[in-house]
Structure 1
Amino acid sequence: MGGGDKCTPSSEDDAHDVNGGHEKQQGSKEAEELKNQGNELYQAGRVKDALSKFDEAVSKSPDVAVYRANKAAALSSLGRLGEAMLESKKAVELDDNYARAHERLANLCLRLGRFKEAKKHFEKAGEGGKDGQKRADQLDQHAKAALCARDKGEWEKALREADATIQGGADADCTLLGVKAEALQNLGRSDEAEKARAQAEKAAADAGTPAIRDPVISMLRAKIAASTGNFDGAVAAAERAVKLDPDNCAAIQTLKQVRALANARTRGNDLFKAGDFGGAEKAYSEGLETPLGKENAFLLSNRAAARSKQGHWEEALADADKATRAYPNYSKAKLRRAHAYRNLGRHEEAVRDLEELAAAAPYDADLGRELWEANRELAQSRGEDVSGWKFTPPGGLVDVTSDQQYRERVNGPGLVVGYFTATWCGPCRQIAPVIKKLPEKYPGLSIMKVDIDSHQQLAAAEGVASVPTFKVYKNGRKVNEITGANAPLLDQVISQNLQDILKKV
């Protein structure tokens, strides 16, 4: 069966005859009609509507196993596994010889990681359950191996065995998803760990199990949040773990460790802002020495900044490099590594890092200038003449030559102004000198100049009724529109919206 978001019947929950020909008991005529209507809706992929009909059938004849089984099939397709299991259990309690209901219940148990229970119901499912028994045994072995590896700290093996269990069919086992998240976290793969943790929480919620209230998941969330720089979130998650189980020693210890980490970061930041870079370095180092702080990319990056301020470039490079390797998407760490490379004369490596950063933020004027400076330093180191080099900020005033060019740019990153004008327009000529100077005043700003006579279709599609008209886009979304030659208003709108776009990486 597929995951909880699947809305069409799978081969395993075939609602056109979910009772598998099991016609020993029927309810009232009205209940039978509701069941048949539900089956038709289920076949058509209208699972929620089908569930409503099955639910009505159960209310009319609550002691009919078939109606319970049909309802379980619909609940399962909607990802409501805990409720589906309850209905399946009621079905087999009403009729222990109902093989198809046993098979469905076994598959639900399998998905939820209840392998012994799954095997018991597969045994009662007749011929259709023989392969299921073997699969339950195999998954049980993988699950035990994953838990054993987790207890020993063998994270590669724990991840491998957890994946084998989940991919083998236990896709809603919140315990194994939690093991996977913990293994990924300890292997330095924080982004993947967070996804697995979220899946574990969702699986627990879908199953309606008490695991969602288990402090283990909150502790895991705290550790992942700390590793991704969300120190406040880490403290909140650890506090929740303790609240859920005040006597849980592991939860109490996690809270102490997370608080120590967060306090070290805060203390270091305060000292850094006060200009005490040596004190800041010491505070960050204390945080890195805590159990949860080892290899923390965000503390390493902060310590790199403190060491850079003291001119300790080799040490700063080591920290920034570790931070970048631990958390590749952390652009600040990569920028600090580039700074260290430049100051150590390692120009090629500096250019490489800055090119990667600039590719992700092509309209960041400060980053563009730094890349230009690094390229100039690289050229100088090779003996090239750089006297004629001139920095051109990204963006600028561009004459639009095609509709596609305009659309690609306004839908792209940064702040972009669509400037609709005409040669015969007096107010357009009046404001033109102001427009020309805007990219100089606001480096990184792009202005796409559209002559409405040359691009009539584009002007019509954009609803331009008069000129000049200015359409302001921020990261592909239109945020403002100005009609008329109102230079002060245009300047104000650009200034307000450009702040977020051109902040440092």
Structure 2
Amino acid sequence: MSAADPEEVKRAGNDLYRKGCFEGALRLYDRALALCPDNAACRGNRAAALIGLDRLGEAVKECEEALRIDPSYGRAHHRLASLHIRLGHIEDALKHLSLATPQPDLLELHKLQTVEKHLGRCLDARKAGDWKSVLRESDAAIAAGADSSALLLAARAEALLRLNLLDEADLAISSASKLDYTSSCSSDTKFCGFLANAYLFYVHAQIDMSSGRFDHAVSSIDKARIIDPGNTEVVNMHNKVKSVARARSLGNELFNSGKFSEACVAYGEGLKQHPMNKVLYCNRAACRFKLEQWEKSIEDCNEALKIQSNYTKALLRCFSHPFHDAFQSAVLQGFPIREHTVRQIPIC
């Protein structure tokens, strides 16, 4: 291979690509582009290697650069259409699919139409507050081809949260956050009436708040409001998150000062804003424990367990109860754990 001949270097990269050595192929394509920056085919090949490495946002940029060099480059249009389907960008996918060849690839067109159908149903279900349908249709759209859509994963996470499946919601929003979304989507992209980036932060804030990550929740909703300040759902959630975080902070301060009755009231104010917050229930249970309000303490632990059945602190608080034997059946209800004797469990 001549190190000075970009075509030879590109061919060597192609050999590595065919063997599945995407990192090595990418390095050779970079070397070829350093010798000949306006080589559209090499840009397209570089995009293919990036797809192999699951760096889809960068692959989109590389295809766009190939088309800047050669607007009629059909393979780049086709590759870009496939990328946009995976990312859930329906209009962009349709545009590039129509430009790829005189006749669109029928398999890709069918995939696009199926994703579009399920995405539309998902959006309609969210407007109606039908969270089971949101979950079903987002799953169907992902399975049909939009497997790297951060927005669909976020919609799935929001549906799981509303269906009281907190652990699964947390996993879903974590997966969405790992995707290279911002580099593959314009800042004015809309989803469910939100600016797309704002929706991701909006869902993240809800899950963080429900999981007791109050500082992260405040940070996420602040970002959502900066991006989409006129969105009513964002504004309302911003107010709620701030209010709940303040209630938790005040409750903790009062608890640590030994003012347990006042702390109960503070946590209760937070629960008025967010009745599905396991941490506030568990913290109020600690206050009621200190006040020797045994039955109310157990009730709060049970409420926390309804939200997250494997929430360890709520289980341990129940077993630290002086009369926990009397309440054991109410607390466990199918949770096969050993008894613990724990007297001091910190608030969250």
- Give TM class, smaller chain: 0.7 to 0.9
2:305 aligned to 324, 330, 338, which one? Answer: 324
CA distance in 2: counterparts of 1:136 and 1:354, whole angstroms: 44
Q: How does 1:36-75 map to 2 (within 5 A)?
A: 36-75=11-50
1:131 aligns with one of 94, 107, 118: 107
Shift of residue 39 of structure 1? Answer: 1.0
8 A contact 2:150–2:181 mirrored in 1: no
RMSD, matched Cα: 3.2
CA distance in 1, matches of 2:171, 2:245: 23
User: Counterpart of 1:295 in 2: which secondary structure?
Assistant: coil
- Would you say the 8 A contact 2:302–2:331 is kept in 1? no
Please, which of 63, 77, 80 is the counterpart of residue 88 of structure 1?
Answer: 63
CA offset at residue 74 of structure 1? 0.9
Partner of 1:183: 159
Aligned match of 2:288:
307
Is it true that 1:152 corresponds to 2:152 in the alignment?
A: no
Residues 310 and 153 (structure 1 numbering): CA distance in 2 closer, same or farther, change over 3 Å?
same
Residues 443-485 of structure 1, C-alpha deviation per residue, up to 9 Å, x if partnerless? xxxxxxxxxxxxxxxxxxxxxxxxxxxxxxxxxxxxxxxxxxx
Q: What is the correspondence of 1:86-235 to structure 2 with a 5 Å cutoff?
A: 86-91=61-66, 99-123=74-98, 124-125=100-101, 129-205=105-181, 207-210=183-186, 214-235=197-218
> Residue type of the partner of 1:166?
I
Residue 256 (1) aligns with residue 239 (2) = yes
- Give the Cα–Cα distance (whole angstroms) in 1 for the partners of residues 73 and 261 of structure 2: 74
Aligned residues: 336
Offset of residue 274 of structure 1: 3.6
Q: Within 5 Å, which residues of 2 pair with 1:274-313? A: 274-290=257-273, 293-313=274-294
- Structure 2 Cα separation of the partners of residues 36 and 48 of structure 1: 15
**Contact 1:122 1:130 (C-alpha < 8 Å) held by counterparts:** no
Q: One-letter code of the match for 2:10?
A: K
Gaps spanning 5+ residues in structure 2: where? Answer: 188-194
Whose helix proportion is higher, 1 or 2?
A: 2
Deviation at residue 104 of structure 1 after TM alignment:
2.0
Is the 8 Å Cα contact of residues 158 and 180 (structure 1) preserved in structure 2? yes
Could you list the per-position Cα deviations for residues 204-260 of structure 1 after superposition, in whole angstroms to 9, with x for gaps in the alignment?
A: 447443569823322222221111111222222223333445555544433321121
CA shift at 1:288, angstroms?
A: 0.5
For 1:73 and 1:335, locate their aligned partners in 2 and report how far apart those are by CA, in whole Å. 52
The 1-side partners of 2:16 and 2:300 are apart by 60
Q: Please, which runs of 5 or more residues in structure 1 have no aligned partner?
A: 1-27, 359-366, 372-501
Distance 1:62 1:289, change over 3 A: same
Q: Aligned in 2, Cα 1:119/1:233: closer, same or farther, shift over 3 Å?
A: closer
Query: How far 1:84 sits from its partner (Å)?
Result: 1.6
Partner of 2:192: none
* Amino acid aligned to 1:68: R
Aligned mates of 1:248, 1:95 — CA distance in 2:
40
For residues 422-452 of structure 1, give each alpha carbon's deviation from its aligned partner in whole angstroms, at most 9, with x where no partner exists.
xxxxxxxxxxxxxxxxxxxxxxxxxxxxxxx
**Does structure 1 conserve the Cα–Cα contact (< 8 Å) formed by 2:151 and 2:196?**
no
Q: CA deviation at 1:79?
A: 2.3
Q: CA deviation at 1:112?
A: 1.2
1:431-470 aligned at under 5 Å gives the runs: none
> What amino acid maps onto 1:142 in structure 2?
H
Equivalents in 2 of 1:307, 1:71: separation in Å? Answer: 62
Q: Contact between 1:338 and 1:353, CA under 8 Å: does it hold in 2?
A: no
- Which has the larger share of strand? 1
How far apart are the structure 1 equivalents of 2:150 and 2:332?
Answer: 45
Partner of 2:255: 272
Are the aligned partners of 1:313 and 1:344 in contact in 2 as well (CA < 8 Å)?
A: no
Write out per-residue CA displacement over residues 111-139 of structure 1, whole angstroms, 9 at most, x where no aligned residue: 11122332344443477811111111111
**Contact preservation (8 Å) 1:320, 1:333:** yes
- Aligned AA for 2:217? A
Q: 2:331, 2:231 → 1: CA distance? A: 48
Is 1:34 the equivalent of 2:29? no
What secondary structure does 2:54 align onto? coil
Q: TM-score of the superposition, structure 2-length normalised?
A: 0.83
**Secondary structure of 1:289's partner?**
helix
The Cα shift of 1:334 comes to 1.1
Counterpart residue identity of residue 122, structure 2: A
- Rate the CA distance shift 1:217–1:338 in 2: closer, same or farther, 3 A: same
> What TM-score do you get using the length of structure 1 for normalisation?
0.59
Amino acid at match of 2:259: D
Identity across aligned pairs (percent)? 35
